[in-house]
Every structure is written in C-alpha cells, then in structure tokens.
Amino acid sequence: MNKFKEGFLWGGATAANQFEGGWNAGGKGLSTADVMTGGTHTTPRRITPELEEGTYYPSHEAIDFYGHYKEDIKMFGEMGFKTFRMSINWSRIFPNGDDLEPSEEGLKFYDNVFDELKKYNIEPLVTISHYETPFGLTKKYNGWASREVIDCYIRYCETIFKRYKNKVKYWLTFNEINCLTIDFGAFMGGGILVKEGENSDQLRFQALHHQFIASAKAVKLGHEINPDFKIGCMIAYMTLYPYTCNPDDILLAQQKDQIQNGLCGDVQVRGHYPGFAKRYFEENNIKIRMEKDDENILREGCVDFYSFSYYMSNAVSTDPEKQETSGNLLGGIKNPYLKASDWGWQIDPKGLRWTLNHIYDRYQIPVMVVENGLGAVDVVEEDGTINDDYRIDYLRDHIVEMNEAVKDGVDLMGYTMWGCIDLVSASTGEMKKRYGFIYVDKDNEGTGTLERKPKKSFYWYKKVIESNGENLE
Ligand code: BG6
C-alpha cells in the first residue's frame, strides 16, 4: 500500500522544440518555437515573424537530439528509464501545418527514435503538441484562434496514431493546455499573435475551446485506431495557497485555481465546461463560439488519465502591497515559508502531495507527474564532475511527498522528471537554466561542443529507479 505500484513509470521528460534541433533538416517546416529568440531571466524572448540574420534562435540546433538520439537514449537506458516523455515536432511531419500529405522523412525519424527506445525497453510517452505549432498556421489562420486548425491537428493525429499504432501506447494531446488561460501563453500555447488593442482573453479562450475540441476528437480517434491507447491531458498545475485566512484571500485563491487549473481538467476529464466558467466568461467579456455538435464532441472525448507539471507553488493575496515572485507560466506572492530557486520559483515538495490529493479528489482517474525538476546553474569541476547535490535534494524531497500521496490513496502511474538531459528553457530560451541528469556542453549564446556527461544526479536516479523509489540516498 505504501509503495509505488509495480510497473511505475519512472523516467524523464523533454519537448522537441527545446532539445531536438534539426530545425530545417529533412524537410521540417518553421514552427512557432523557431521564431523565438533567446532571452534571459530579465530580458524576454522576442517573436520575430521573419527570421533575422545574425539573431540566435535556441530551438534551431537546441541540443541536437536529432543527431544524437542514439547516444542519448543509451544514457536513458543506463539510468533504467521505464518511460521517456518526448514530443513530436508537428512541423517535422506537416511542414506548413495544413499540408495534405505528411513528410515521410519526418515520420521515419520518429520510427528510428521509437525503435531505439524499444531496444532499452523504454516506453515512449508522446506529447502531440508541445509549444510548437507550425508557423504556417500562425501566418494563415493566427494559429488556434481559428477553428480551421482543428482539422489540421486531427490530420496530424490520425497520421501519427496510425503510423505508431504498435510503437506508442501513451499520448498527451496538448502540453500545459491551460497556458491559454494566461496572457503569456497566447503564442507559445496557441500560435496566436495578439495585435495591439485586441482582446487577448477573447482570442485565447476561443483558442482554448478549439484545443478542447481537437483534444476530444483526438481521444476518440485514438481509441478507434487502437483501443489500448492511453491518452491523457496535461495541465501546468499552478498550486495556489491563500496568503492568509482572510475569506477574501481564500475566495481569490479559489477563483484563480478554478480558472487557471480547474477549467481545463474539468473539460478534458468530465467532458463539459464547469459552472464557474460561465460567470468568468460573462464578467470578462469572453464569448465562446460553439458549434452545434461541440457539446457531444467534448462528452465523447474524455481523457484516460490526468497528467500535470509541478515545479512550485505560489501564494495569493488581495493585498497589493505583498511582494511578488516569478514562477512557471505565472508568478504570485512570495511565501515566507519557502525557499526559491535561482529563477525565483518557490520550492515546495509538500505542495506536490497537496496537489496530487487535490487532483485525485476531484477526478478519481489515474494521475501522472510528467514534469518536475530544478532549473539551476551547474558547474563542471576541474576533474570533469558535476556535483548537483541541490538537484538531488530537490528531487528526493518531491519523490518523498509523492510517496506520501500514494499512501494517501492517490492512483499514481508514473513520474517523468523534466529536462532529464539539459535543454533550452521554454520561458527564457537559456541553456544556463539546467535541469538535466545529463550535462550538455552548450551555453546561452549557442557555443559548445554538445558533449554529453552524466552528473552526480544521474547515478542517484538510477538507484531510485532500480529500487522503485525505495532508495533515495
Ligand atoms: C513547463 C513546460 O512549463 O516547464 C516546459 O512544459 C518547460 O516546456 C518547463 O521547459 C520548465 O520551464 P522553463 O521555463 O524553466 O524551461
């Protein structure tokens, strides 16, 4: 009862746009990620609709998994990964997004990757869309703001479901779909360019509706193609605590939790919009255009499991004087009981136990933690070692609390640590913000040999997996 279940899916997570590179190899088209420049913690990434000569675009080479996949998968195998979360670059399969025929070369690349994983008995967990929409869809339709994109996505799903029917069992329809509930997510999550003066809320929530429909259709289609497929949703869980027991703080925290975290899970797990959405839409002047059959589509496309990312928690306060801090997708109020990472994300292992219970109480379907990790600056010692004890501490503390949640009765399927190999940061475009068990020699400016090296945490995680989470020393 107290243990992680047999067959628990231990592993690591990545996203194509942040680690694959090969941005124009094999006929790949331009994606939204490919037009985002590098940035830093304090300088935001820019979106350049036309590629600029001399500007550095981190996704173009990333860490070149495209050219190193055999070496990388071998190292995942050495750690004993049971699963590997990766995404397919949609623009590698359909370069413009609305092409009628897929690229055979693109499809073949993923055949090779899945075959390589199979050699090490690693089960792929594939995110179909992870912050990478073919840029052609942005140009032509303003991305997910238009309903036309649903058909393009479904064509893409049908292609990969059929092709990898016997190679992939676990799928996630959209990475952090709830990023469309916040401003920051318009381009990354929806491929939407918001013009000055435009109502961003309206565009994003309409786009979110299109993604709900696309996700539901994909789930139904996937099950028709292979009834053994397990298809999940993926939510960026932004765990929120009321700063005080003042009922105003409590209510504000609940309202934010409903929209930012609850809305997407409710639609994707239960198959319909929750009651609170109506009031939110009315009060924020958002009018969702639905077609006649949409309610049925949502009802018929409920996901099999709930997956989420968890890095940190934030506090919520009605007091405008309270100090703020940054976080995954969204910042919040600083919590005096927590320490933070170098990027200001508040480290809260107990919050993971709380979140797992909160989610499982709400939905009662299997749950999976598909992202969790610490972005930190790593130092290569003179003898070549990388002693990332801070990362081991972070991960250990979270795994301990995950185990507590299992004891609490949560049906937990697996855990894929984010950025198991160093990769480009989604929010800042940096390499310096490293998450990996495997170090990659590359810096923020794109210089480096791309050599891979195991860090101390590599050997630690191997023991964790070998002992099914019992040995955390
Ligand atoms: C999640 C995303 O938001 O967090 C990943 O799904 C991302 O794509 C990860 O990389 C960590 O965020 P960051 O900004 O540190 O890369």
What is the domain-level CATH number for residue 393?
A: 3.20.20.80
Tell me, what's the pLDDT at 68? 98
Q: What is the atom index within ligand 1 of the atom nearest the CA of 176?
A: 6
pLDDT computed for residue 257 by the predictor:
97
Q: Exposed (0-12), middle (13-18) or buried (19+): which is 104, by Cβ within 10 Å?
A: exposed
Query: What's the total number of domains in the chain?
Result: 1
User: How far does residue 425's CA lie from ligand 1's centre (Å)?
Assistant: 6
Q: Is the pLDDT of residue 325 over 90?
A: no
Q: Is residue 106 part of a domain?
A: yes
Q: Is 366 in contact with 306 (CB distance < 8 Å)?
A: yes
pLDDT for the residue 330: 80
Whether residue 434 is contained in a domain is answered as yes
Does residue 357 lie within any of the structural domains?
yes
471, part of any domain: no
Q: How far apart (Å, rounded) are the C-alpha atoms in residues 61 and 68?
A: 11
pLDDT in the model for residue 327: 81
What is the value of pTM for the model shown? Answer: 0.98
pLDDT, tens digit, 9 for 90 and up, residues 339-357: 999 999 999 999 999 999 9
pLDDT at 326: 82
Taking the C-alpha atoms of residue 340 and residue 326, their distance in angstroms, rounded to an integer, is 10
The verdict on residue 472 lying in a domain is no
Confidence of residue 329 (pLDDT cuts 50, 70, 90): confident
**Structural domain harbouring 311:** 9-466
Q: Does 436 reside within a domain?
A: yes
Please give the Cα distance from 84 to 439 (Å, whole number).
17
Ligand 1 atom at shortest distance from the alpha carbon of 328: 3
User: Does any domain span residue 376?
Assistant: yes
pLDDT band of residue 2 (cuts 50, 70, 90) is low
Q: Domain for residue 4, yes or no?
A: no
Ligand 1 midpoint to CA 383 (Å): 31
Query: Residues enclosing ligand 1, CB less than 6 A?
Result: 15, 18, 131, 175-176, 236, 309, 328-329, 371, 375, 418, 425-427, 433
CB 438 within 8 A of CB 452: yes
